[in-house]
Amino acid sequence: MMKRVNIKVTALAAFIGLALTGCGGDDGAPGADGANGTDGKDGKPGLTVATSATDLAVNVDKVLVASDSEVTFTVTNEKDLPVVGLEHFGFILSGLEQGQNGDANSWKLLSSESCPGSKYAKCGTLTDNQDGTYTYKFLKDVTTETAFSVTDDKTLRLIVTTGGDTLGGKTLAYANKSHDFRNNGEAPLYTKSVINNQNCTGCHDDFTIHGGHYKEVETCISCHTDNKVSSASKVFPMLAHDKHIGVISAPVGGCDNCHSENEQAVDYTNWKTVPTQETCITCHTDVNFKEGVNHWPYEDNAQCANCHTPEVVETVHLATYKGQTSRRENVHLTVTDAKMVAVPQAQKNIDSGLDTAKTGYVQLTVDILDKDGKSMNKQLDKVDFFYYSEFYINWGGQDMGMERGKILRVFTNKENFPGYVEDPIVLSYENGKTTYEIGPFELEDEFEGSLTDSYGMVTPRIWFCMDKKGENLESCKETSSVWGQGAAGFNWLHFFDDKGLIPERPRRQIVTNEKCGSCHGMTTRDSDGMAQMTLNCRSCHAVTKNDPAYFGTTCASGSVDNDGDGILDEMIKLKSLSPRGERDWTTASNAGEECLACHNANNPPTQVVRDSHTKQGDADYVEQLTMSHPDQKVWIHAMHANNRANQGGEGWKRNVEYSADLANCVKCHEGDSFDAKYLVGRKPLALDLDYMDTYDGLDPANGKDTSGNKRYAVDAKADAYVSPTAAVCLSCHGKRAAEEGEDRRQVRKDVVSHMKQNGAQFGVELGQYTGEESCAVCHDLNNLKESHNLK
């Protein structure tokens, strides 16, 4: 294209040229050189700005709170490059009023604004300074807020929210920035940092509410204030208590489960140092302080701390489990040795005639230590301060070899059912060490062959009696209340082989006590702490209602028709899986894995587990049984996913609402222990498909009658098998929501079909099982991490 010429400019240039050349004559010698000019200033370099962002970071540069409040802040991406062109921001400004007469410090909302404006919040004036900094002028004159007056001494908080804009073709994730300050520019003189996200992420993953816009607890606290929300129950402390009490999986009353120390929660002890009526009644709902119901009448909080001192508050609330922990220290029933021997040495075992070339016997040595770790020099079976002392033992390595293993019950509160609870056989006693011989253990496995060179595990479960003060051991025969005056002992998990205890654990670490305790609560924050499994064993291993022989045991199965109406009576007393306030000594755990002794692939689900919620003839019977299997790697997934056969119905007692993302495997798993390769070649899960067909409840008037087909939960016989990888994956992915007319969640047929197409087998007989799953070919570690959003 031809360049266009400006005619007027060209003519003017020619005219000036003629005028200059028309001046004749010589002007003489050249003049002197002029002085050197000064150096020019360096030019401003070009600004490099972000063209994409994974995360946004906000830094508050300056805040002025007045009738025309203004904030200047900088936004950068994860590479610390300035981000320009953003239009979506939220601004929450609050002030902290110091409590008087026993009141807690309380936040007051001064203004909540956002850009672009909406029906929920209006927008003031937002200026993009095109260098990564932004300036926002609040629309509201915050000095008109009657609930709070701004002074240079008071603490203020600004929350800036970002996210929702598009940069580099991607929508930016939401982020919140909290900034506490004084209006004179200096650091705050006081604060109220009771909890933060670090306290919450023990149970939750990402803490997000209101569509994901708000991701910090400080944001919630700043807005849920008494001058903003419609009722006192929605002020943040009360709201948080109401949403968690009786719902969380940690002990009720265990305030330190949430109110725990970290570098940001500097006021974490407020729960015991600043008792107030407002927060107390969120748990103690039967108290009315104003009217004097279940408490002396008080108009305000001025006198609360006089009686409810930090020591008293802590003792009353945390004694539910910390008191038990201190009592536990009085006795340590310690496994000092354990080994598998090929032939028995105890005369009673020799005479039994049960020994074969394919059996072995475990010799277990224990010592009773006092609180100082010194031996009491007492033979275990001859002391009188144990209510029960039991040792759960199994052999066979990763999958274990026996259904429920063997249980050595030195003292027990259970019936002596033949073949299940046997009299202990003492092999020897010397210098405080009692050695028992337990067996026989089968050393041949249908799937693995010889188990002779494998390893075993043992974990104790004990309860001992003490005086009312919890200071001295006491004979259980003299104790008026065994449960009220006793303590559960520690229950470490030990591994052993044919040479003795194994110093290094032979199986990979899948979960840890600390990971379980992050949600269920810990007695301490170190590796020696006890995880408080308040959803205790009795919730599933339910007590019986109408058969005295089985009361207080886990051995009953099925039901009886006592009233003759042709319908089996409810025999199992259901308990809710929701946490309870009482001390859960049966489930305070040190190991997190000790359940493996019984909860393994060999152990078919029985009617105790099924609870009649699935039965032969159901279209999804085998799959429902699979998801209700007691194998540790299945039941623990299915229970948290609310997928067991006795879960998932509207209003059912056993429903569980898991507080984190079920796809977040590392929430519970250590490292990459969820890799599907670890399931390749593992033992299939055993089922007993005709279990209820062989139960007829003969002679219900005689609970101890074992004739006919009356069934114990321990005598299920495997007649079908399920592939292990499919069972584990199904435990989380196997259910869809119940549709209209269905009483519970149903199995996803598409998932089962996909598994079968890739080698999985469900409910096949022993001779038909091939073990040819190919899941790990596609679902390798990288695929699992990608599909579960773990990278």
| Residue spans per domain, the chain | 50-190, 321-511, 598-791
pLDDT of residue 716: 76
- Average pLDDT (207-231) is 90
Distance CA 361, CA 456 (A): 11
Are residues 213 and 174 in contact, defined by beta-carbon separation less than 8 angstroms? yes
How many CA atoms lie less than 13 Å away from 19 in the CB half-sphere?
Answer: 6
Distance CA 276, CA 302 (A): 9
Selection from 125-134, 615-624, 657-666 with the highest mean pLDDT:
125-134
Distance CA 113, CA 121 (A): 5
Fold designation for 50-190: Immunoglobulin-like (2.60.40)
**273-305 tens-digit pLDDT:** 999 999 999 989 999 999 999 999 999 999 999
Q: Characterize 512-547 residue by residue with b for buried, 16 or more Cβ atoms within 10 angstroms of its Cβ, and e for exposed.
A: bbebbbbbbbbbeeeeebbbbbbbbeebbbbbbebb
- Average pLDDT (35-43) is 55
- What is the CB neighbour count within 10 angstroms for residue 34? 6
Q: Token pair for residue 244?
A: 């968690």
Give me the count of residues in the chain: 791
To the nearest 5 percent, what fractions of the chain are helix, strand and coil?
20, 20, 60
pLDDT of residue 172: 96
Instruction: Please write down the long-range contacts of 507-511, taking CB distance under 8 Å and 24 or more positions apart.
Output: 507/397, 507/398, 508/673, 508/678, 509/670, 509/671, 509/673, 510/593, 510/669, 510/670, 510/673, 511/592, 511/593, 511/668, 511/669, 511/670, 511/673
Are residues 160 and 96 in contact, defined by beta-carbon separation less than 8 angstroms? no
H helical segments located in 319-460 = 322-328, 347-352
Are residues 443 and 360 in contact, defined by beta-carbon separation less than 8 angstroms? yes
- Higher pLDDT, residue 271 or 38: 271
- Average pLDDT (742-764) is 93
Q: Token pair for residue 86?
A: 């953003």
pLDDT at 25 over 50: no
Q: If we measure between CA atoms, which residue out of 414, 580, 585 comes closest to residue 487?
A: 585
pLDDT of residue 726: 97
Q: If we measure between CA atoms, which residue out of 759, 790, 786, 753 comes closest to residue 772?
A: 759
Strands (E), 637-724: 685-687, 720-722
pLDDT of residue 533: 67
Q: Token pair for residue 422?
A: 């046997």
Mean pLDDT of the chain: 85
Distance CA 754, CA 742 (A): 24
- Average pLDDT (595-607) is 86
Residue bearing tokens 């209820």 = 692
pLDDT of residue 605: 84
pLDDT of residue 518: 85
Q: Is the peptide bond before 724 cis (omega within 30 degrees of 0)?
A: no
* Reported confidence tier of residue 264, pLDDT bands at 50, 70, 90: confident
pLDDT of residue 1: 37
* Reported confidence tier of residue 552, pLDDT bands at 50, 70, 90: very low
Q: What is the amino acid identity at position 442? A: E
Cα–Cα distances in Å, from 20 out to 11, 29, 418, 544, 777?
A: 15, 19, 128, 120, 89
Cα–Cα distances in Å, from 413 out to 285, 476, 541, 624, 694?
A: 37, 12, 15, 33, 28
Q: Token pair for residue 713?
A: 């939960």
Distance of CA 249 to the CA centre of its chain: 8
Q: What is the amino acid identity at position 718? A: A
Provide the β-strand partners of residue 335.
366
Least confident of 133-147, 233-247, 542-556, 600-614: 542-556
Are residues 605 and 541 in contact, defined by beta-carbon separation less than 8 angstroms? no
* Reported confidence tier of residue 611, pLDDT bands at 50, 70, 90: low
pLDDT at 2 over 60: no
**427-467 tens-digit pLDDT:** 999 999 999 999 999 999 999 999 999 999 999 988 899 99
Distant-in-sequence, close-in-space partners of 218: CB < 8 Å, separation ≥ 6: 157, 159, 176, 178, 196
